[in-house]
């Protein structure tokens, strides 16, 4: 059995469904992200694991034991909150030792452990400082250290970086991943930031409207989205609505797109076909005859994004988004006539 297992979890708040039929197994030592828009139920699920919310139905097993009825202060699960939640009346060391104090550990052990976790987050020299004397990033690292000091069985992080500056966010998420894998601690990480989830997780759980949309590795989630929600929530995608015309083609209005991803969808089924902007190729000249899915168009918008340039191409009335690396090709101009193609490998097809 998995280390942390949630079975058939449901939770309503005054007739509003927060989480429905949630089933998930988390292996020991994994970092699992719950990713989704606000209100999708990810935080509610996390709070049910912590014990702050009681599931209406279902069971939570930790290491084979049902913990559903254990009060939150006896669960031995560490949690890091979005708003730091450091106790303002205690200095850093007292904050870190608080959990150990509640466990009535001997004083010398508390001090030793506080030093250990402080060195883990590389903030040894802040032990005597008070939270209001620290920066946001430092506070969140202390909050992490405080949660780790009790050596919890599971670590929960509730949007830990969303209150921080973009730069600090990137540094700190790397730090969290490093500490997590060094300690081998089973971790659940809630975020609405797809880049964050994709960059640090072993497993990503995409949620929407209280339901799990897809569970998979970051690569799977990005490359092979199971649902239209996942495909559009993570990254951007050009959408084509149509129906399956045969085992490898989708008819969308006048155009017929070749895809290797039609799978078992029967002919005639209404589908949506998705192509990510980076999978759209652009040519100044008509490409060779062996190139599939070639269309003509005119460049409508050009938006510079640094490493890439995003083009909006008007192909017989439909705007298709394409990302190109300018450094690797000739500059583009407004109203330029271009050819574009979709690689059939990257044309995701899913039933509507």
Partner 1 sequence: MRRSISQKNRRAAWLGLLPFLLFCLAFEIVPILLLIRDSVFSKAGTLTMSNYKQVLAPLYLKSFWNSIRLSGITALIGTVAGLFIGYSIYRWPSQRIRNLLITLSDVTTNFAGAPLAFAFIIILGSNGLVTQFFLKSLGLKIYPAFSIYSFSGLILAYVYFQLPLMVLLIIPAFGGIKKEWRESATNLGADTSAFWWHIGLPILAPSLIAGFVLLFANAFGAYATAYTLTGSRLSLVTLQIGFTITGEVLHDPGIGQAMAILSLIIMGTSIGIYRLAIIRAERWNRH
Partner 2 sequence: MDISRKSKPTASQIIFITLFLLYMIIPIIATYVFSIATRWDRSILPEGYTLQGYRDAMKNPYFLITLKNSLVLSFGSVLVSLLLIVPTVYWVHLKVRLAKPLLDILMILPFGIPGVVLALALVQVYNFAPLNRSPVLLTSAMVVFTMPFMYRSVSNNLEAIDIPTLTEAAQSLGANTIDILVKVIIPNILPGILSGSLLVFATVFAEFTLARLIVGAGFKTFPMLLVEYTRKDGTIAAGLSVISFTIAWIVSLLILWVGGKGMKTSQDVIKAH
Sheet holding 186-191, edge to edge: 77-80, 154-158, 186-191, 31-35, 203-208, 211-216
Binder of residue 264, out of partner 2, partner 1, none (CB less than 5 to 8 A by kind): none
In the complex, the smallest distance separating the C-beta of residue 52 from partner 2, rounded to whole angstroms, is 7
Residues 180, 185, 190, 192: is their CA dihedral positive or negative? positive
Does 71 bind partner 2 (CB under 8 A)? Our answer is yes
Please state, in angstroms and rounded to a whole number, the distance separating the CA atoms of residues 302 and 286: 21
| Binding segment (CB under 8 A) for partner 2, from list 57-65, 69-77, 146-154, 254-262 | 69-77
In the complex, the smallest distance separating the C-beta of residue 4 from partner 1, rounded to whole angstroms, is 16
In the complex, the smallest distance separating the C-beta of residue 245 from partner 1, rounded to whole angstroms, is 55
> What residues numbered 51-90 form the site for partner 1, per CB under 8 A?
52, 72-74, 77-79, 81-90
Does 72 bind partner 2 (CB under 8 A)? Our answer is yes
- Of 46 and 164, CB closest to partner 2: 46
Please state, in angstroms and rounded to a whole number, the distance separating the CA atoms of residues 106 and 100: 9
Binder of residue 335, out of partner 1, partner 2, none (CB less than 5 to 8 A by kind): none
> What residues numbered 87-126 form the site for partner 1, per CB under 8 A?
87-90, 98-99, 101-103
Q: Which of 269, 233, 277 is CA-nearest to residue 250?
A: 269
Helix 107-120 to helix 136-149 angle (10° resolution) is: 130
Which segments within 68-168 are labelled E, that is strand?
Answer: 77-80, 154-158
**Encoding tokens for residue 225?**
């989205």
- Of 73 and 89, CB closest to partner 2: 73
Does 52 bind partner 2 (CB under 8 A)? Our answer is yes
- Of 52 and 87, CB closest to partner 2: 52
162 touches 192 (CB < 8 A)? yes
In the complex, the smallest distance separating the C-beta of residue 14 from partner 2, rounded to whole angstroms, is 9
Task: Pinpoint the alpha helices (H) of 130-289.
Answer: 136-149, 166-183, 194-200, 218-223, 228-233
Please state, in angstroms and rounded to a whole number, the distance separating the CA atoms of residues 59 and 2: 13
Binder of residue 269, out of partner 1, partner 2, none (CB less than 5 to 8 A by kind): none
**Encoding tokens for residue 47?**
């709070």
Please state, in angstroms and rounded to a whole number, the distance separating the CA atoms of residues 34 and 32: 7
**Encoding tokens for residue 292?**
């599939």
Binder of residue 174, out of partner 1, partner 2, none (CB less than 5 to 8 A by kind): none
In the complex, the smallest distance separating the C-beta of residue 170 from partner 2, rounded to whole angstroms, is 33
**Encoding tokens for residue 216?**
């998979």
- Of 76 and 278, CB closest to partner 1: 76
- Of 101 and 241, CB closest to partner 1: 101
In the complex, the smallest distance separating the C-beta of residue 42 from partner 2, rounded to whole angstroms, is 19
In the complex, the smallest distance separating the C-beta of residue 91 from partner 1, rounded to whole angstroms, is 12
Number of chain residues interacting with partner 2 (CB under 8 A): 4
Which segments within the chain are labelled E, that is strand?
Answer: 4-13, 16-26, 31-35, 57-62, 65-66, 77-80, 154-158, 186-191, 203-208, 211-216, 238-246, 249-252, 255-258, 270-275, 280-283, 294-304, 309-315, 318-324, 337-342, 348-351
Does 150 bind partner 1 (CB under 8 A)? Our answer is yes
> What residues numbered 118-137 form the site for partner 2, per CB under 8 A?
none
Does 13 bind partner 1 (CB under 8 A)? Our answer is no
Does 275 bind partner 1 (CB under 8 A)? Our answer is no
When binding is defined by CB under 8 A, the residue of 73, 89, 125, 335 that contacts partner 2 is 73
- The secondary structure of residue 254, as a DSSP letter, is T
DSSP sequence for 233-251: HSS--EEEEEEEEETTEEE
The binding site for partner 2 (CB under 8 A) comprises: 52, 71-73
The binding site for partner 1 (CB under 8 A) comprises: 50, 52, 72-74, 77-79, 81-90, 98-99, 101-103, 131-132, 143, 146-147, 150
């Amino acid at each position: 059995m998995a280390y942390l297992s949630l079975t058939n979890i449901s939770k309503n708040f005054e007739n509003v469904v927060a989480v429905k039929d949630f089933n998930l197994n988390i292996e020991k030592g994994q970092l699992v992200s719950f990713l989704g828009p606000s209100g999708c139920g990810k935080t509610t699920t996390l709070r049910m694991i912590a014990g702050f919310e009681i599931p209406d139905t279902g069971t939570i097993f930790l290491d084979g034991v049902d913990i559903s009825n254990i009060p939150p202060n006896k669960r031995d699960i560490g949690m890091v909150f979005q708003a730091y939640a450091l106790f303002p009346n205690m200095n850093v060391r007292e904050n870190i030792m608080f959990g150990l104090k509640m466990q009535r550990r001997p004083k010398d052990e508390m001090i030793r452990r506080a030093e250990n976790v402080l060195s883990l987050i590389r903030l040894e020299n802040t032990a005597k400082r008070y939270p209001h004397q620290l920066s946001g990033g430092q506070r969140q690292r202390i909050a992490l250290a405080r949660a780790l000091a009790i050596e919890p069985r599971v670590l929960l992080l509730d949007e830990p970086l969303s209150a921080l500056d973009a730069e600090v966010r990137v540094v700190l998420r790397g730090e969290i991943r490093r500490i997590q894998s060094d300690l081998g601690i089973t971790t659940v990480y809630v975020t609405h930031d797809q880049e964050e989830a994709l960059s640090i997780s072993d497993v990503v759980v995409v949620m929407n409207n209280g339901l799990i949309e897809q569970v998979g590795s970051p690569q799977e989630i990005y490359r092979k989205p199971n649902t239209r929600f996942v495909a559009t929530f993570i990254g951007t995608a050009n959408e084509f609505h149509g129906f399956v015309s045969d085992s490898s083609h989708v008819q969308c209005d006048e155009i017929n797109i070749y895809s290797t991803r039609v799978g078992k969808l029967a002919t005639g089924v209404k589908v949506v076909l998705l192509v990510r902007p980076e999978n759209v190729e652009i040519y100044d000249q008509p490409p060779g005859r062996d190139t599939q899915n070639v269309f003509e168009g005119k460049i409508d918008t050009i938006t510079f994004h640094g490493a890439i340039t995003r083009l909006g191409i008007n192909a017989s009335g439909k705007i298709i988004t394409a990302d190109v690396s300018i450094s690797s090709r000739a500059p583009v101009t407004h109203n330029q006539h271009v050819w574009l193609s979709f690689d059939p490998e990257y044309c995701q097809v899913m039933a509507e």
